[in-house]
Structure 1
Amino acid sequence: MRILFLHRNQPAQFEFFARWLAQNGWQVTFAHVGPAPSDTTDADGIRTLRFPAPPDERRADDYRYALDYAAQTALGATQLFTQLRELEGYHPDLVLAHVGWGIGLTVRQIWPATRYIAYHEWYYTDVDWDRSKRERPMTPEALLTNRLRNLPISAEFDSADRNWCPTGFQASRFPPALRARLEIVPDGVDCGFHRPDPEARIDFDWLRLPGRTKLLTYATRGLEPLRGFPQFMRAVALLQKRRADFETLVVAQDSVSYGPRLAEDDGWGKRALKALDLDRGRLHMHGLKPRAEYLRVLQASSAHVYFTEPFVTSWSLLEAMAAGCLVIGSHTAPVREVIEDMQTGILVDMDESDEVAEMIDWVFEHPAEVAAIRANARAHVLERFEAGKVFARKAAYLRALVAGG
């Protein structure tokens, strides 16, 4: 079975599934956008191709950006597909593409017999479709920007054999006519790798903490309001004044992945350090780390905070639960889909800093109750999202799709 994964940014959520397929005898190829063409093959036999596309220079006030970027990306991808077909005779049995950036728009035109699955993460809208109500006022430019961002996403529905979405909440953002075609297919979590370790300690060359330290953790790609970082830091400032027996570790880049960009020398981390009265000696902020070190942070955590506005759920949430973290999550729809309050985690109003600090304090003081919630969280992920189960079901699904093609 030959499968081609398409994504704008590296393997992202396809990484573990692609590797599992390669290790189970599939011929796996991955293609993504990069500054210059390249062609490499790793130890698992996964071939990675990179094709040039425009730099990501989006501007908040440029409503034409999404379509222009998608058009140029689609052209680069189409040129690559044509070269693979004409020069190598390559015809994948399946293509699985992360949509919205134009990368999969011509798959069926180049390979008409190939089965094509479009992976949808988000639909940009100001409408709550289930209640037929607008959520918030928007400027004409913002309204138009959303409509244009959705055009490449909607265009996938006329060529894809199947349309996947990882969570029910994310699917709920699509208009009913499109949502009816979406299948909820979880990404899967490697629970063998992301597992608890009661003996885990923070002992790196970049940070060392005493063995029995109460540790509050926060780990995401960027520091930004959409993931509740400013609210988290306000709670840390409050809690530091209440007790002196805990350390806080933040693992993230001080950059914005989602939402309006800041100036190059600005960041929400810098703003928090400037605005809040924080004990810097007990606050440790570090950039992204290798996965093994990131896992050790989760395993050593006493309380792990995951906040988000209603948006795409980070796969780090399920990874933290699989690692046995006590997750304190925002009481928002994407988190409620995964966490049951006081059963598999703790839900708080992330805008209420006193409530957040109070619940972190409670976690530190109630290790027995917390241990039960941690165990429930991992059990929940093992039951619904464990990679071996999810990947085997996906592989069987894909084989059946090709066989019935």
Structure 2
Amino acid sequence: MNILLIHQNFPGQYKQLGPALVARGNRVLALTPNVKTSLQWQGVEVVPYRMNRGSSKNIHRWLGDLESKIIRAESCFDAAVKIRQFFTPDVILAHPGWGEPMFLQDVWPKARIGLYCEWYRQESQSADCFDPEFPVTEQATAVQRLRLRNLNAALHVDMANAGITPTKFQLASYPKIWRDVTSVIHDGINTNLVRPNLDATLEISSDLTLTRNDEVISFINRNLEPSRGYHKFMRVLPHLLRARPQAQVVVLGGDSVSYGVAPAGGGSWKQLYIDEVRGDISDADWARVHFLGRVTYDRFLSLLQISRAHIYLSYPFVLSWSLMEAMSAGAAIVAS
């Protein structure tokens, strides 16, 4: 069987599924802007596509999100027309969140299409409205703007032969028309790899290597930002350090923004909250806090394996792999 995977940040949620489909004897091709040249990844043929244009400068501000998805959909469509010369998928598996599969039914009308249903923004349960510290801008029109953001999902629903979502919570965010065709199946954690390791170590510096004999507390975000509870974690940090004088706190995450917006005053959320709490933390205690930024997967895994406690805080939103991986590695969980 020929299977086409589409994800703007491939492999994304197809990290486990792609190689598994190859192992079953399928020909699997992935279309993504995440690579510059064609390559092989664990048996998957990865083919790049390029954006045809950028977003308009003077478009109505409510339509900017939808326009970006249409631009990506058009670019993906153009690439699919070229791929059609040498590849005809029986099945297309795609994440519609960025608009990419919007027009692919027109390229391959006989293909069965399965869409990855990550999150639907409900008017009554939006994560955007969860934290009173960050009220929604332009509150009077928030509902209308939210409806427009969901137009992308509406443009995909008729093409979906099936949907997949990792949790019941995420499924519940969708309207009935989506829930009727969607199954709850988690992306998967490789438990042969992500498991307890009594010999795990993590080198912090030339003078400090942490092991399971140390009292390690971990906090991990793709990017350190309020939507994943970074501000709450930082504000409890002075109390945590005083209460646990032997603890080593290790923080992973970038300085950018994944789900929310950047600080209004500029800079990063990471530095903003460091500046907020630093005065309440002694130099000796601050020496036990280690910001490592983004690390390789083997270092990420080592951190989970030596963690006495893993802290996971989040708005009501999509479930992070890091929580499931921490559980698989044997860490105790402190979660919101």
Give TM-score scaled by structure 1 length: 0.73
Please state how far the C-alpha of 1:207 moved relative to its aligned partner. Answer: 7.7
Aligned residue type for 1:302: R
Judging by fraction of residues, say which structure has more helix: 1
Please state how far the C-alpha of 1:142 moved relative to its aligned partner. Answer: 3.0
For 2:335, the equivalent position in structure 1 comes to: 329
Native 8 Å contact 2:6 2:100 kept in 1: yes
For 1:52, the equivalent position in structure 2 comes to: 50
Q: Deviations over 1:134-163 (max 9, x none)?
A: x99872443233212211112211011112
Native 8 Å contact 1:228 1:308 kept in 2: yes
Please state how far the C-alpha of 1:176 moved relative to its aligned partner. Answer: 3.0
Native 8 Å contact 1:4 1:31 kept in 2: yes
Native 8 Å contact 1:203 1:209 kept in 2: yes
Native 8 Å contact 1:52 1:76 kept in 2: yes
For 1:117, the equivalent position in structure 2 comes to: 114
1: CA distance, partners of 2:310 / 2:68: 36
Aligned residue type for 1:176: K
Query: Any idea what SS the aligned residue of 1:106 has?
Result: helix
2: CA distance, partners of 1:328 / 1:19: 32
Query: Any idea what SS the aligned residue of 1:258 has?
Result: coil
Please state how far the C-alpha of 1:164 moved relative to its aligned partner. Answer: 1.6
1: CA distance, partners of 2:187 / 2:230: 25
Aligned residue type for 1:45: G
Please state how far the C-alpha of 1:27 moved relative to its aligned partner. Answer: 1.4
2: CA distance, partners of 1:77 / 1:171: 26
2: CA distance, partners of 1:226 / 1:111: 38
Q: Which runs of 4+ in 1 moved over 4 A?
A: 54-59, 135-138, 204-207
Query: Any idea what SS the aligned residue of 1:255 has?
Result: coil
Q: Which runs of 5+ in 2 are unaligned?
A: 127-131
Please state how far the C-alpha of 1:185 moved relative to its aligned partner. Answer: 1.8
Q: Describe how 1:45-84 pairs up with structure 2 within 5 A.
A: 45-53=43-51, 62-84=61-83
The answer to whether residue 220 in structure 2 is matched with residue 222 in structure 1 is no
For 2:261, the equivalent position in structure 1 comes to: 260
Please state how far the C-alpha of 1:285 moved relative to its aligned partner. Answer: 0.3
For 2:306, the equivalent position in structure 1 comes to: 300
2: CA distance, partners of 1:111 / 1:46: 20
Give TM-score scaled by structure 2 length: 0.87
The answer to whether residue 326 in structure 2 is matched with residue 320 in structure 1 is yes
For 1:98, the equivalent position in structure 2 comes to: 95
For 1:238, the equivalent position in structure 2 comes to: 239
Aligned residue type for 1:214: E
Please state how far the C-alpha of 1:303 moved relative to its aligned partner. Answer: 0.5
Against the structure 1 CA distance between its residues 58 and 25, is the aligned structure 2 distance closer, same or farther, given a 3 Å change threshold? Answer: farther
Q: Percent identity?
A: 29
Native 8 Å contact 1:120 1:153 kept in 2: no
For 1:10, the equivalent position in structure 2 comes to: 10
Q: Deviations over 1:66-106 (max 9, x none)?
A: 11111111110111111011x32x10111100012210112
Native 8 Å contact 2:163 2:178 kept in 1: no
2: CA distance, partners of 1:185 / 1:266: 38
For 2:162, the equivalent position in structure 1 comes to: 162
Q: Which runs of 5+ in 1 are unaligned?
A: 130-134, 331-405
Query: Any idea what SS the aligned residue of 2:97 has?
Result: coil
1: CA distance, partners of 2:296 / 2:141: 39
